[in-house]
């Protein structure tokens, strides 16, 4: 999900002449492009010819396959969007009016907006300059007896420093809620993201590693929360009881229309089959960016270095530069799209009550830019992009 509606990225490549290093290249390199396996198209057609197009057996199958892919002991509850998954996690974690929640100041606004649904008080934490992930040191400064949860986002697909965050959460007896929208396939200390914390939310939005058009998955550690989550994603109704007698079952909690449908689940099942190849390709691209830009003055690939304790999901390649707008204009002149993509949330009016001091975020303002990483970007494209940057 893009943080600003003012940014519009083409959904398919367009063509405009570009010249790099004296060589003409007619192919425009777009910043994002959805990756839909051919098997997904066939699978959707099968669903459309059948009985179930709403929530049906393929949703169950996708939940099971997703859980197996991660090797997770958590329950998997498929929903209509990653934002739905986060909202349910906040409810299940007991986040209510006036509860304090520590969350990252830098993320897609969808991470924090559901906290406003709950009337929570958001305490924004600063970033780590080398990763743009939440800074555990600032988290420790912010937590208190009123804190009900810690929210972390694995920016670009690089896991946060979970050991430090878990230590803080354990001391207070509060849950960690991971926004893993960008981190499908990532791991920390050999454990898959999705099998680490109390709640983990994944996104299958149009541009993610696996897309279902739009969709999400909530991974839940405690068995006590699985049944309520399944009810709340469907108006608070127990579907099993409803199938036995349409409206006899009681509704004991406020629910939402957050369920996934079989059309989306069919796409998700096909996407899981292609995920390993997609991750390998993205990681090669990120490694090549890091290699090519390693010795370029004033350029740093944020979170691009090798970290032995975690594996990158490589959803984004973000670079730190002295003047991001200047580089963005230069790349555009050569037919290459780029953008900041996400912005500090304390700049939005809806989060005015959560403003504070964020020196690391201040230092990066206007100095970061996202470069293309997706299935239609090749190693040759990365060479071309880096040649423009070096020039």
> pLDDT category, 265, cuts 50, 70, 90?
very high
Q: What is the pLDDT of residue 245?
A: 58
- Examine the pLDDT at 243 and tell me if it is beyond 70: no
Q: Is the pLDDT of residue 384 over 60?
A: yes
E strands, 166-288, in order: 176-179, 187-188, 191-192, 199-203, 216-220
Task: Find the mean pLDDT for residues 187-193.
Answer: 98
pLDDT at residue 278, as a whole number = 97
List Cβ neighbours of 149 (8 Å cut-off, separation of 6 or more): 90, 93, 94, 95, 99, 101, 102, 174, 175, 176, 177
pLDDT over 80 at 246, yes or no: no
The residue that leads in pLDDT, 16 or 46, is 46
Question: Taking residues 253-273, what's their average pLDDT?
Answer: 97
DSSP 271-311: HHHHHHHHHHHHHHHHHHHHHHHTTSTT-EEET-S--TTEE
What is the structure's pLDDT at 25?
56
- Report CA Rg, the chain: 21
Residue 92's φ and ψ, nearest 5 degrees, are -65, -30
Nearest C-alpha neighbor of 372 from the set 27, 12, 64, 31: 31
Four-point Cα dihedral 351, 130, 219, 194, nearest 10: 180
- The answer on pLDDT for 90 being more than 90 is yes
What residues have CB less than 8 Å from 163, skipping those under 6 apart? 189
Alpha-carbon distances, residue 312 vs 96, 171, 190, 317 (angstroms): 33, 28, 12, 11
Give the pLDDT confidence score for residue 248 in this predicted structure. 66
Q: Is the pLDDT confidence value at 26 over 80?
A: no
Per cent of the chain over pLDDT 70 is 91
Mean predicted confidence (pLDDT) in 190-200: 98
pLDDT, position 252: 87
Q: Is the pLDDT of residue 4 over 50?
A: no
Per-domain boundaries in the chain: 15-35+275-390, 38-269
What pLDDT digit, counting tens, does each position of 338-365 carry?
999 999 999 999 999 999 999 999 999 9
CATH topology of domain 15-35+275-390: 3.90.1150
pLDDT tens figures, 295-340: 899 999 999 877 899 999 999 999 999 999 999 999 999 999 999 9
Q: Is the pLDDT of residue 11 over 50?
A: no
* pLDDT tops 50 at residue 370: yes
| 365 CA to centre of own chain | 21
Q: Quickly state the pLDDT bin for 240 (edges 50, 70, 90).
A: confident
State how far the Cα of 315 lies from the Cα of 322, in Å rounded to an integer.
Answer: 23
What is the DSSP code (8-state) at residue 111? G
CA 315 – CA 184 distance, rounded (Å)? 9
What does the pLDDT average to over 380-388? 97
| Whether pLDDT at 19 is above 90 | no
Q: Which of 318, 77, 317, 57 is nearest to 194 (CA)?
A: 77
Tokens 């001091």: give the residue. Answer: 357
What rounded mean pLDDT belongs to the chain? Answer: 92
- pLDDT of residue 232 exceeding 70: yes
Q: The domain at 38-269 falls in which architecture?
A: 3-Layer(aba) Sandwich (3.40)
Q: Report, as an integer, the average pLDDT of 25-34.
A: 88
């Amino acid at each position: 999900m893009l943080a600003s509606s003012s940014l519009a990225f083409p959904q398919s490549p367009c063509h405009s002449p570009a010249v790099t290093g004296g060589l003409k290249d007619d192919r425009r390199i777009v910043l994002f492009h959805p990756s839909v396996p051919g098997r997904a198209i066939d699978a959707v057609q099968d669903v459309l010819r059948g009985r179930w197009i709403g929530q049906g057996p393929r949703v169950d199958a996708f939940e099971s396959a997703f859980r197996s892919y991660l090797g997770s002991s958590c329950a998997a509850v498929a929903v209509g969007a990653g934002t739905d998954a986060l909202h349910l996690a906040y409810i299940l974690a007991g986040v209510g009016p006036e509860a304090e929640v520590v969350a990252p100041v830098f993320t897609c606004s969808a991470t924090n907006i559901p906290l406003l649904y709950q009337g929570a008080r958001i305490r924004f934490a600063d970033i780590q300059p080398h990763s743009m992930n939440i800074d555990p040191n600032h988290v420790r400064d912010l937590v208190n007896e009123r804190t009900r949860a810690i929210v972390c986002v694995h920016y670009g697909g690089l896991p946060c420093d979970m050991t430090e965050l878990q230590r803080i959460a354990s001391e207070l007896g509060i849950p960690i809620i991971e926004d893993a929208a960008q981190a499908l396939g990532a791991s920390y200390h050999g454990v898959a993201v999705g099998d680490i914390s109390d709640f983990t939310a994944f996104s299958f939005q149009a541009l993610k590693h696996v897309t279902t058009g739009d969709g999400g998955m909530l991974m839940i550690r405690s068995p006590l929360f699985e049944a309520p989550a399944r009810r709340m994603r469907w108006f608070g109704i127990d579907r099993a009881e409803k199938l036995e007698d349409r409206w006899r079952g009681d509704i004991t909690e406020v629910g939402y229309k957050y369920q996934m449908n079989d059309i989306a689940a069919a796409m998700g099942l096909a996407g899981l089959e292609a995920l390993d190849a997609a991750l390998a390709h993205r990681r090669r691209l990120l490694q090549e960016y890091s290699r090519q830009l390693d010795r370029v003055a004033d350029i740093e690939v944020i979170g691009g270095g090798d970290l032995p304790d975690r594996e990158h999901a490589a959803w984004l390649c973000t670079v730190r530069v002295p003047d991001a707008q200047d580089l963005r204009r230069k790349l555009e002149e050569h037919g290459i799209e780029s953008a900041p993509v996400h912005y500090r949330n304390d700049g939005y009016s809806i989060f005015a009550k959560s403003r504070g001091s964020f020196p690391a975020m201040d230092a990066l303002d206007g100095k970061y830019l996202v470069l293309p990483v997706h299935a239609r970007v090749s190693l040759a494209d990365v060479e071309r992009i880096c040649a423009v940057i070096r020039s």
